[in-house]
Structure 1
Amino acid sequence: MLHRGTMHKLNTGASIPALGFGTWQDKDAQEPAVIAALQAGVRHIDTAAVYGTEPAVGSAIKKSGVPRSELFLVTKIWNNSHAPEDVEAALDASLKNLGTDYVDLWLMHWPSSFASGSSLFPKDSNGKVKAGTSDYVETYKAMEKLYKSGKARAIGVSNFSKAEMERLIKETSVVPAAHQLELHPYLQQHEFAEWHKSQGIHVTQYSPFGNSNEVYSKGQNLSKLIEDPTLVEVGKKYGKSGAQVALAWGIAHGRSVIPKSKTPDRIKQNVEGDFELSAEDIKKVDAIDRKLRFNDPSANFGWNFYQDLEGKEA
């Protein structure tokens, strides 16, 4: 084993591997990438209906020979399936794509709903995304039934604001097991992260390398987070890269991280990001927060996300 295999506990009692593998983008490269990740020891795979990568993930798992019972599989319901009557069919489609009869964690991808139907991005007559009429509380209640049936062994959300989280908890009966959100050394959201701890909600960090993804136009003129002098300097002490330090920092805070990569070499390096940082080095990374958020599709989705969170531009 090249890494510690750190596990965190969910409020369901299940364990989630702290180091996961993200499969957003590069649909055609995902099958070999997931096989490489599984061979490198990764046991937490993250996908979503909208990524179009569920079939590749399912196929990779089959080919890898890793038993389903050893895996922690996460997928997400898309905005066009938020109507309560569409929720179970959405999960069934994901399960079929993944070649399994349950997921370990099922998340609501966004609090916003789109018009129901087969189109992932339904458009109105002005070419804008056509909003649905379903409230995220109703969607979540439909998800709760599938949690109780065992098809989803845990349920949670992604990309919610604090007010949206508070309302969800108040109006539903199953506290989310996890909240997946943009979180990295340049967007640390300490208070929000602490709030999750107080509620027993696990946090999964997506984009753990911040603006290293070329789709984030906002981060293109900035130097890359993984080249941050503090991360690089801390890494030298351990013989690790800035990227590996960014992962270790998230894990040290009790969160899971889901870096993505297509190359076996980089995948291995990411796996080696599960190592122990000293308390002093964790504090050093805590000090480089810039409150920089790179992912905010509010304009495209017709919903004002993250209203009460750090990094939200007015």
Structure 2
Amino acid sequence: MPMRAIGKDMPSPAARGLETVVAPGEVLGRIGTLDVRLARDETEIAAAQEVRYRVFYDELGARGELQQRRDADHFDSICDHLLVFDTTLPGPDSCRIVGTYRLLRQEIAASAGGFYSTDEFELESLLARHSDRRFLELGRSCVLPDYRSKRTVELLWQGIWAYCRRHRIDVMTGCASFPGVFPAAHARGLSYLAHKFRAEGAWRVRAVPSRYQTMDLMPAEAIDTRAAMAELPPLIKGYMRVGARFGEGCVVDADFHTTDVFVILPVEWIAGRYINYYGADAQRFAA
């Protein structure tokens, strides 16, 4: 997706009179020496953008016209930024960020021109079919290489869950990515999602026609399930574990050098298993 300039003149959620339930800096989860909370100031958001640059640009080969070593666009000024901190690292908190997620609530997106993912997927039709639901878009997820463990992913989900409970979110959506711009290179994984995990009925979402590429690249009977799971990116497997389904068709993002799929996750699909898994910790931070 093309890079956009940072919208410095865009008012904050609080300035627009929109609800802010989770306070910046409030801890939303903890596992061992790792904490997860929202960014509390521009310094921490800038540090998260630097982490994103290291992952998306230095490691994964994204490209764009950036004046500094930060992955930034105008959505950053209206989103909440969920951050994972390693509390054992030296220096201020801005130097301890090892993972991040960007969170955009529907009411804020509506006041600022829409969701990020509408450039790739027909999200508006989904919103119209579920006008009584409150949506949250998840995006720009990344974790530094040394922290790409099940524990870090679990902590991010602990933070997301607490955030959703506090803001009464009904549905989570967003893009998730396979590396590279050739869907055929991920034929088994994409086909597995298309045949076994595609959202149906009222939850169906398609890639926009001008960017649509098929995910159904192999017949279902030809797919080795174990091999397909092994080839899926960790973030996508994480979504699958908590009950997500995926849209129809994928989109090639040449700037980020990825092949994107769309994630649909109503909260009622995950609430029971999530509470059972995280138990008292998840409830303590979601209260």
TM-score (norm 2): 0.30
Q: Normalized per residue, which structure has more strand? A: 2
